Structure 1
């Protein structure tokens, strides 16, 4: 029987004779994802082989974990029987990163465990110190320094969606419930969310072209996260195209880009920003794309596509802020944001792009309704247009990546690519192994 496959959070070992390698995997996984699972008695392909187990086996595993990993963790060790074969499951978690194993600091990359560079170790220490302390640190602000209108709006939203059980608005009770006040003082997370004079920055801009050269509109706002999320969403929704669908009872207005997807990316930008550096979130409206700049760090070796295709757990930079926004349904279940965005976009055949910068990353929604001048007399089907947009806006994108983006098989993607080549709107540059598709000008 096959129980699954190895991943960034799952490790298989054939026997407990590989305990030393197992604890290295555990430390590497903890440093990357804070939780994971190791199985003994399972081969690399996930096939259950079984494991000889004595009275001392569990104690031996517990001892080597305790001796090797620092800071110490408290794993759960279970003996399981699958199809008359006995295996051991070790579940573990920990949030006191970085974790050393026999004096080494490792990080999980795919299914490999590699040594962390000095810069990676510094960044991990900084980020974990930040995420565990900054939000909870008390400010000099009191409850009088909070935006009452924003709090009341939050209360109503959280109550209406069933994520807050308070029959009537009570400011003091609400602040205690969402854990942003202690001894009359507001913590950093609470003030960033609801402060009257919070200094979170938001740049709203519209451009004449897809390059940031000519402004047609520019607004620089300061305020709290709760109000700025709504301001950013309103700015985009008021400047994109809408179409009408006539139903049996009423007309329905549908935006060119799903509103739910836009909100997810906006909230992600505010929720994961590094507030020690006084960040500025940016919204850019271009003729061919909607661009959202997130001033938060992103794991060096991961992209949104990894979270979509590999179901990876999320890293919460600002857990308190995320939890509060979840209550008002600004975000759904943690860790599902990019998957939800991708699903919403697929429903409307909207493509997206992503690129890293030195101090953050850009997420772009491609405006598929914009006419693209490839050849005057060339007509593309809707599916061909989606593939065309993916190739145009994602240099070097593979068939596998395109298949994930549009929710189709690689065979379907190849058929669409072949059609685009036949219509002479794209071409292949380089070899089949190392080349890429390009737009024919």
Structure 2
């Protein structure tokens, strides 16, 4: 059941002083809380709640405020709830006029709230943050670049995925009360330990009979393939069974490989940098204004497409958050091939045209130099605002995180 957000009252309390009278009114959080129009979120998100039955919900302003503080202060769900209890500025920002000594909610309620409002709800919050900057966010020229949002997965190796697949398949045998589940699990652990030890000592046997984790996984797969069709649980595990079959069948040089069992949508992006050759996650686009460096648009891409094909989604999202359309977009050489996208001229660093005069050449050179300003913006997003590693699950988590 929906709980209405109570507005901050200016009337004094008889028994104790209110938060506003004890805090620094020039603090950025206080000024930001007084600037945001919180009623927009109440009107937009009340459709996700029942009006007359169920347990009373937490105020919408509280949940939206905690999500904003989580990103601004680089905190996890558990930490932002704990810091809310200790920090009176957090409490005023979330709509409390009096100090509350307890926890505002459980950390898992933030997970449910993210799923409840979805991508549209996060787009509304992002649009509000752009509108706070007023005319500064309405520049006609923007900077666009792509980066990689890494997923929270282990580094994929060839023995690792078959080993995890084998453990999952053997767990099915224990559920179905097959007799050889425990012996197979013991043999698998022994083979995995022997394989890792031999790799570390650089003495991998060349005999074909050497039992690697891949061989054990294929053996388990064949045994289940014989027993499952006659079992009543075949329909239950059919989707997962085909998924593990795809993991076993893939080769090192195949395309569209699976790099993680719990994040099968992850793909690899080759960076070509010395400190990190490859990154595993998804590609995202960032759009910022040229002079004021305000992020006005973001876009997550579920496939590793060429940078020039990401401009349509990125520019359309930026235009939806602004009143004026984008006229110029400055990009790097990775966007070669794009000229005009949604009415915006794409400017790339290249040789000057013969018909250009000196003023036009200097103007293009200055724009291309200014493009480098988006690089530190991406660095700060990753180091200071929790975007270095995506902890949210699935493709929906990719869109919600960025």
TM-score bracket relative to the smaller structure: under 0.3
Question: By percentage of residues, which structure has more strand?
Answer: 1
For normalisation by structure 2, the TM-score amounts to 0.26
Bigger relative contact order, structure 1 or 2 (CA pairs below 8 A, ≥6 apart): 2
Question: By percentage of residues, which structure has more helix?
Answer: 2
